[in-house]
Amino acid sequence: MLWPGGAPPHERTGVGFDRQTQQATVTKVDEVSCKDVNASGVPPTGDTSTAEGSSAQQQENGTCKKATIRVDTGKDKGRTFTEIVQPDQSRQLHEGQEVVVAYEPSAPRDLQYSVTDVNRRFPMALLAGIFALAVVAVGRMRGVMALVSLAVSFLVLTLFILPAILQGSNPLVVAVIGASAIMLAALYLCHGLSARTSVAVLGTLISLLLIGVLGSLFIGWAALTGNTDDNTGLIHGLYPSIDMSGLLLAGVIIGSLGVLDDVTVTQTSAVWELHEANPTMGWRGLYRAGIRIGRDHIASVVNTLVLAYAGAALPLLLLFSIAQSSVGTVANSELVAEEIVRTLVGSIGLVASVPVTTALAALVVSADRPEQEPVPAGAGPAPAPARSGGRGRRRKR
């Protein structure tokens, strides 16, 4: 019912990622006087970031660079244009460097192309290859299946979740269904079709539903709009029908899924191994032992999740620190409140997944064995009841 027919079309705005881009190469870089450049009116490079302490006088009297860039793709392949790089810009161009240029057809011919970024395709592809080799070398067949499940996750995200949200479907429903599909593929591909994996799947699904309910409640209660930066503002401008607070909730659910998989699989495996080590232990004993393991897991995973979100928001936190804002003021701002709600809701789901998954695993693994008291150490095997006919006791295997 939610399967999208493709994202609805829109006219390009020329803002942010919504621009036409081509690949290009810097063919020549010459040093020129910034004063002469500013007088000639040659346009500067697309990277306009400058140091806060730089003054206009310093920029004017400094030595700038005049870069000649050749377009390598598209209908204007082979065309060249020039741009000026100020001395205090964070990105400096050099000869032979591959860059990404934005194309604006409605601009004057001399201003149609501008450098927007560096071409990082090769180092990113090399890093991805090293990652894949490391996973396969250590994980062997499990590593190969993990890479396959990763590819499936990207396919679900790009072919279902994103287009379905763009066409106006409820982001919460789309996120829960999409995350469930990712979870099924990832867990069964990596861990096999078994009762153990099914218990982990069920525990993950229950935790996801809990995260969805709590997230929906507190995002609405805290009046979080989800529209807090340029990217979300652009999305809202292009597709006003998208529920931005629902998009925020969808991000909470999908972001929590990876850690949830780790917790539920670990807890299920722990209970199964405890059962193998002591088959006489009933489900209550298995649950108590599994929870003791889960407490250590909770302590480390929750800290990991909080630090991951804090690391992603570190520049924002640094700005608040520079402004010497109080903790209450920082926490009340929507930018930080989003991260707090995201972290706490995800952490509650993680904490809840431990007892839920442990209880399910203990019930399933001990379903074919009646509750028994553990045998005290050194007491020897428990005697079996004597058979009728005087055959005596049967040795316990």
- Distance, CA of 128 to CA of 173 (rounded, Å): 32
What global pTM score does this model have?
A: 0.69
Looking at every residue in the chain, the average pLDDT score rounds to: 78
pLDDT at position 133: 95
CB 20 within 8 A of CB 112: no
Query: Measured between alpha carbons, how far is 259 from 252 in angstroms, rounded to an integer?
Result: 12
Q: What is the predicted pLDDT for the residue at 36?
A: 64
pLDDT average, residue stretch 243-248? 82
**Domain boundary assignment for the chain:** 20-48+58-119, 132-365
CA–CA gap between residue 161 and residue 352 (Å, rounded): 26
Residue 54 in this model has a pLDDT that exceeds 50: no
Residue range 69-74: mean pLDDT, rounded: 86
Q: Is the dihedral of CA 205, 210, 216, 222 positive or negative?
A: negative
Q: How far is CA 7 from CA 150, 226, 260, in A?
A: 23, 21, 30
Gap between the Cα atoms of 289 and 83, Å rounded:
67
pLDDT for the residue 38: 56
Average of per-residue pLDDT across 261-279: 87
Report pLDDT digits (tens) over 273-330.
888 888 888 888 888 888 988 888 787 777 776 777 777 777 777 777 776 667 677 7
Mean pLDDT of 15-23: 72
pLDDT value, residue 392: 42
Contact 264, 202 (CB under 8 A): no
Average pLDDT over residues 146-161: 89
Q: Is 30 helix (H, G, I), strand (E, B) or coil?
A: strand
Of 104-118, 203-217, 317-331, the least confident? 317-331
Amino acid identity at 97: Q
Return the ∠ at Cα 173 (arms to 268 and 236), rounded to 5°. 130
Q: Which CATH number fits domain 132-365: 1.10.1200, 1.10.510, 3.40.50, 1.20.1640?
A: 1.20.1640
Listed residue (91, 108, 105) closest to 21, CA to CA: 105
Tokens of 203: 């525990």
